[in-house]
Amino acid sequence: MPVVTMVGGGQLARMTHQSAIALGQCLRVLAASEDDPAAQVSADVVIGSHERLDDLRRSAAGANVLTFDHEGVPVAHLEALEAEGVAVRPPSKALRFAQDKLAMRTRLTALGLPVPDFADLAGDRAAARGVLREFGAQHRWDVVLKAVRGGYDGRGVWLVDDEQQALDLFDRADASTRLMVEARVSMRRELSALIARSPFGQGAAWPVVETIQRQGQCAVVVAPAPGLAPDVAEQAQQMALRLAEELGVIGVMAMELFETADGGLVVNELAMRPHNSGHWSMDGAITSQFEQHLRAILDYPLGPTDIVAGPVVMANVLGAAQAPAMSMDERVHHLMARLPEAKLHLYGKGERPDRKIGHVNIVGAPGASVDEVRERAERAATWLSTARWTDGWDVHGE
Amino acid sequence: MPVVTMVGGGQLARMTHQSAIALGQCLRVLAASEDDPAAQVSADVVIGSHERLDDLRRSAAGANVLTFDHEGVPVAHLEALEAEGVAVRPPSKALRFAQDKLAMRTRLTALGLPVPDFADLAGDRAAARGVLREFGAQHRWDVVLKAVRGGYDGRGVWLVDDEQQALDLFDRADASTRLMVEARVSMRRELSALIARSPFGQGAAWPVVETIQRQGQCAVVVAPAPGLAPDVAEQAQQMALRLAEELGVIGVMAMELFETADGGLVVNELAMRPHNSGHWSMDGAITSQFEQHLRAILDYPLGPTDIVAGPVVMANVLGAAQAPAMSMDERVHHLMARLPEAKLHLYGKGERPDRKIGHVNIVGAPGASVDEVRERAERAATWLSTARWTDGWDVHGE
């Protein structure tokens, strides 16, 4: 059976390994350390850095495909590997648009896809400062400053309230950090269109989901997005599938979207890998995003993306601000006593404030109330984070 | 998080590892070789023999629980480990009934559970020969000879047609092989009642399934058993739960049953571990047998055993008598093209005739026809075994 190497040993690689096992494979992982979430559980681990070409080469040796747990690999390295015959999927020509928000915005604009107004703040500092002042004034300072590269989970994104704050941020920024500015979108909610595309050109789209962000990172995902008009859902799927084809994406791709106050769509971010907004599919869809990513990059025919039963809600388990009063193992015991149906996914990570250390899926029965399913998912995840029940229930009866 | 050691590196350990990952664990496997199905995919492998106490000790060191992929570990070794404080689950006092068919039959009889008539053929050869002749005549030679220990997947079980054949088998048997004889049960079909029990005493029963055997080994499982009267299903579940409690079983237990021609139940075999008749639960039940086994042996509260959507059919993929015309990887490609919804589970084993090398689950939509779901499952499994479509469809269009 084929060998797939995944660059990065995080939770996405860990969960991809679970799917690889079913397909008769063992995922090879390029991990920074043996303690990485995926390195803890796979029999085929290469210790090294995604920033060193030699380490990438070692991890790709003898593998059929090289793929990614994150988008941080330098494009020049990927181009070098491609020149040496490594099947890099998604290929560098596509992946660079997931690394560089400015290139992504520019390309999407050229393709006629809806993006927020934006301006490039790279280049000459004084000139860029002028661009920022003009753009900000035009948008009444309802703008967002972003790092062009490397931002995720709320990092590299700054919401500003006025000119002074924007200029302060700009002036304080490290000269090596390329910045851009975007108009803030007046939105109703955030959505994610998750799709997969194979080298053969086959595409598959899961139902569009609603994502709820907290402190700039994904907290809850509701699948499918409640009350989303079917034509808007289809438009989101078609936009994602079309973009994947235009860019030559291979594998799973998440297109994060804003649903605007007037019911339109605006593209926010792109991720070319399994994505937090697709974790619900592990228990709630016929084909999970991790199995689908493997199928896509290996050019197997793709699997059905239908929901298995009723609505599904995923809630992330975050490290708590204060260490909980009981161990994670004890918390798991109590969770299973109170919500035995919760599908738990723990990543083997240490608990640090706001760090994603796991998630919970609740699969509703057909016709179940989304609110009821969501309440259970959030109750479960908050319990695992904090050892506190959101409804005030006290495990000790005190 | 806890560490679980599983003795044996076969497919059951491989699939248990998939569930361990979700619970924040890595399954430690005592495997005979690094090529064993579970050893291929787990980061925590101890190479050794389940027949050597020192190897068992090494594998148990630092683990919270020791459990089993098969029932072949000598009871004396388990008792020694228990005396040293190892949490052996299921404990030796229970597991010995899964190792010794005669002890099992005797115990079940004492508990008033329905078993076929049987007689012990151990001890003095001449006396045992007399017992066999008398038992056979009494049952018109409609009998089965069985090895008391070590039989599985059709090994150690001999159907006989007449006295001569029975006596020949008896006379030819190795003196070290303890034998027993049983009356053949006039049955409608075979069933399996899969349950789990925790040290706390919590029990959980999946829907009773129908199992279809071929050449003495499980070929197809239909969940739930079609047309099974609810009271008979409940009787089977209650029998399995009661037995597990009486014997002190911890973990998953399968009770294989005959449904007799007159609608009654007779217990055939017991397995105290995840079992082939429960593989459907990986895709078709809210809690899979592998997750449940871990929950049970770790004394976590158990998960719901409900079916997620419609009827589920599991079909085993067996090594073919003749090497197929294309590689397994090519067969997987074609399978996914024709039956993209098939949930594939490959074990990483070499293909040898009649060897279990994987299985396929098809999850029917609510209300789907069992026959239609079963046809797809068997078509998929036969294709993977032989590279031939059961319906004559020709992939090459020749």
> Do A162 and A187 form a contact (C-beta atoms < 8 A)?
no
Residue B85: its pLDDT value, please?
Answer: 98
> Do B352 and B329 form a contact (C-beta atoms < 8 A)?
no
Residue A256: its pLDDT value, please?
Answer: 97
For residue A67, give the H/E element and its range.
strand A65-68
CATH number at A27 reads 3.40.50.20
Q: What is the DSSP track for A166-219?
A: HHHHHHHS-TTS-EEEEEPP-EEEEEEEEEEE-TT--EEEPPPEEEEEETTEEE
The C-alpha atoms of residue B358 and residue A212 are separated, in whole angstroms, by 39
Q: Do B178 and B203 have their domain in common?
A: no
Three-state SS string over chain B comes to CCCEEEECCCHHHHHHHHHHHHECCCCEEEECCCCCCCCCCCCEEEECCCCCHHHHHHHHCCCCEEEECCCCCCHHHHHHHHHCCCCECCCHHHHHHHHEHHHHHHHHHHCCCCCCCEEECCCCHHHHHHHHHHHHHHCCCCEEEEECECCCCCCCEEECCCHHHHHHHHHHCCCCCCEEEEECCCEEEEEEEEEEECCCCCEEECCCEEEEEECCEEEEEEECCCCCCHHHHHHHHHHHHHHHHHHCCCEEEEEEEEEECCCCEEEEEEECCCCHHHCCHHHHECCCHHHHHHHHHCCCCCCCCCECCCCEEEEEEECCCCCCCCCHHHHHHHHHHHCCCCEEEECCCCCCCCCEEEEEEEECCCCCCHHHHHHHHHHHHHHHHHCCCCCCCCCCCC
Of B125, B155, B183, the position where a domain reaches its end is B183
Over residues A327-378, the pLDDT tens digits come to 999 999 999 999 999 999 999 999 999 999 999 999 999 999 999 999 999 9
* Structural tokens at position A288: 């999970």
Chain A: give the shortest CA distance to residue B286, in Å.
7
Q: Do B216 and B231 have their domain in common?
A: yes
Residue B313: its pLDDT value, please?
Answer: 98
Residue indicated by tokens 């021609």: B261
Q: Do A245 and A315 have their domain in common?
A: yes
CA distances from B306 to A185, A362, B268 (A): 44, 14, 25
> Which positions in chain A have a beta carbon within 8 angstroms of at least one beta carbon in chain B?
1-2, 14-15, 17-18, 20-24, 26, 39-43, 45, 286-287, 295, 300-304, 308-309, 328-329, 332-333, 336-337, 340-341, 343-348, 358, 363, 366
- Range from A46-55, A125-134, B29-38, B194-203 carrying the lowest mean pLDDT: A125-134
Q: Do B272 and B135 have their domain in common?
A: no
Domain count, chain B: 3
Residue A236: its pLDDT value, please?
Answer: 98
Which residue type occupies B58? R
B4 DSSP β-pair partners: B65
pLDDT band at residue B14, thresholds of 50, 70 and 90? Answer: very high
Over residues A195-254, the pLDDT tens digits come to 999 999 999 999 999 999 998 899 999 999 999 999 999 999 999 999 999 999 999 999
Please tell me whether A183 is known to bind a ligand.
yes
Mutate to test the interface with B, among A12, A41, A287, A360 (most CBs of B within 10 A): A41
Residue A336 placed within a domain = yes
Residue indicated by tokens 């032989």: B386
Q: Do A358 and A249 have their domain in common?
A: yes
Chain B: give the shortest CA distance to residue A338, in Å.
9
Mean pLDDT for chain A?
Answer: 95
Residue B348 placed within a domain = yes
Residue B398: its pLDDT value, please?
Answer: 45
Measured between CA atoms, the residue of chain B closest to residue A364 is B308
Percent of chain B with pLDDT over 90: 90
Of A143, A166, A183, the position where a domain reaches its end is A183
Measured between CA atoms, the residue of chain B closest to residue A349 is B24
Of B183, B207, B231, the position where a domain reaches its end is B183
Q: Do B162 and B221 have their domain in common?
A: no
pLDDT exceeds 90 at position A182 = yes
The C-alpha atoms of residue A382 and residue A397 are separated, in whole angstroms, by 19
pLDDT exceeds 80 at position B397 = no
Over residues B220-231, the pLDDT tens digits come to 999 999 999 999
Residue A33: its pLDDT value, please?
Answer: 98
Per DSSP, A285 falls in state: B
- Range from A115-124, A169-178, B321-330 carrying the lowest mean pLDDT: A169-178
Q: Do A175 and A309 have their domain in common?
A: no
The C-alpha atoms of residue A170 and residue A346 are separated, in whole angstroms, by 38
pLDDT exceeds 60 at position B395 = no
> Do A178 and A122 form a contact (C-beta atoms < 8 A)?
yes
Measured between CA atoms, the residue of chain A closest to residue B300 is A333
Q: Do B171 and B191 have their domain in common?
A: no
Which of A20, A40, A343 has the CB atom closest to B26's CB atom? A40
Characterise B354 by phi-psi region: left (phi > 0), alpha (psi -120 to 50), beta (else): left
Percent of chain A with pLDDT over 90: 90
Chain A: give the shortest CA distance to residue B55, in Å.
20
CA distances from A60 to A68, A89, A389 (A): 12, 12, 45
Please tell me whether A125 is known to bind a ligand.
no
Residue A218 placed within a domain = yes
Q: Do A309 and A359 have their domain in common?
A: yes
Residue A212 placed within a domain = yes
Look at strands B217-223 and A356-363 and give their pairing: unpaired
The C-alpha atoms of residue B91 and residue B250 are separated, in whole angstroms, by 7
- Decide: residue A110, CB within 10 A, 0-12 exposed, 13-18 middle, 19+ buried: exposed
The C-alpha atoms of residue A85 and residue A91 are separated, in whole angstroms, by 12
> Do B385 and B47 form a contact (C-beta atoms < 8 A)?
no
Residue B110 placed within a domain = no
Q: Which residue has the higher pLDDT, A394 or A279?
A: A279
**Residue B197 main-chain phi, psi, to 5 deg:** -140, 140
Q: How many CB atoms lie within 10 A of CB A260?
A: 16
* Structural tokens at position A211: 């994502």
Q: Do A244 and A382 have their domain in common?
A: yes
Residue A193 placed within a domain = yes
* Structural tokens at position A6: 């995944």
* Structural tokens at position B119: 């007689």
Which residue type occupies A230? P
Residue indicated by tokens 């560089």: A100
The C-alpha atoms of residue A69 and residue B179 are separated, in whole angstroms, by 56
Mean pLDDT of B182-186: 93
pLDDT exceeds 60 at position A395 = no
Residue A123: its pLDDT value, please?
Answer: 82
Characterise B176 by phi-psi region: left (phi > 0), alpha (psi -120 to 50), beta (else): alpha
For residue A241, give the H/E element and its range.
helix A230-247
Residue B177: its pLDDT value, please?
Answer: 85
pLDDT exceeds 70 at position A396 = no
Q: Do A177 and A203 have their domain in common?
A: no
Q: Do A265 and A284 have their domain in common?
A: yes
* Residue contact B286–A22, C-beta within 8 A: no
Chain B: give the shortest CA distance to residue A334, in Å.
8
Chain B: give the shortest CA distance to residue A356, in Å.
13
A316 DSSP β-pair partners: A359
CA distances from B222 to B5, B30, B194, B267 (A): 31, 32, 13, 19
* Structural tokens at position A314: 């995923």
pLDDT exceeds 90 at position B176 = no
Chain A: give the shortest CA distance to residue B364, in Å.
10
* Structural tokens at position A180: 């851009």
CB burial of A178-207 (b: ≥16 within 10 Å; e: otherwise) equals bbbbbbbbebebbbbbbbbbbbeebbbbbb
Residue A53: its pLDDT value, please?
Answer: 98
Residue A364 placed within a domain = yes
Taking the CA atoms of chain B, what radius of gyration do you get in angstroms?
Answer: 21
Residue A299: its pLDDT value, please?
Answer: 98
Which residue type occupies A34? E
The C-alpha atoms of residue B312 and residue B138 are separated, in whole angstroms, by 41
> Do A395 and A334 form a contact (C-beta atoms < 8 A)?
yes
Cβ-Cβ contacts under 8 Å, A362 against chain B: none
Which residues fall within 8 angstroms of residue A371, CB to CB, at 6 or more apart? none
Residue B173: its pLDDT value, please?
Answer: 87
pLDDT exceeds 50 at position A150 = yes
> Do B175 and B129 form a contact (C-beta atoms < 8 A)?
no
CATH number at B194 reads 3.30.470.20
* Residue contact A309–B304, C-beta within 8 A: no
CA distances from A223 to A146, A207, A258 (A): 29, 7, 16
Residue A61: its pLDDT value, please?
Answer: 98
Peptide bond into A324 cis (omega under 30): no
Residue contacts between A and B (CB atoms, under 8 Å): 123
Please tell me whether B101 is known to bind a ligand.
yes
pLDDT exceeds 50 at position A275 = yes
Per DSSP, A326 falls in state: S
Characterise A354 by phi-psi region: left (phi > 0), alpha (psi -120 to 50), beta (else): left
Residue A395 placed within a domain = no
Mean pLDDT for chain B?
Answer: 95
**Residue A376 main-chain phi, psi, to 5 deg:** -65, -40
| Measured torsion, CA atoms of residues B166, B167, B168, B172, in degrees rounded to the nearest 10 | 110
Which residues fall within 8 angstroms of residue A374, CB to CB, at 6 or more apart? A220, A222, A313, A315, A362
Please tell me whether A146 is known to bind a ligand.
yes
> Do A353 and A320 form a contact (C-beta atoms < 8 A)?
yes
pLDDT exceeds 90 at position A122 = no
For residue A35, give the H/E element and its range.
none
The C-alpha atoms of residue A198 and residue A275 are separated, in whole angstroms, by 17
The C-alpha atoms of residue B175 and residue B111 are separated, in whole angstroms, by 31
The C-alpha atoms of residue B46 and residue A214 are separated, in whole angstroms, by 43
Residue A398: its pLDDT value, please?
Answer: 45
Q: Which domain holds residue B37?
A: 4-88
Cβ-Cβ contacts under 8 Å, B362 against chain A: none
Q: How high is the ipTM of this complex?
A: 0.96
Cβ-Cβ contacts under 8 Å, B332 against chain A: 1, 23-24, 300
Measured between CA atoms, the residue of chain B closest to residue A309 is B309
Mutate to test the interface with A, among B200, B300, B343, B356 (most CBs of A within 10 A): B300
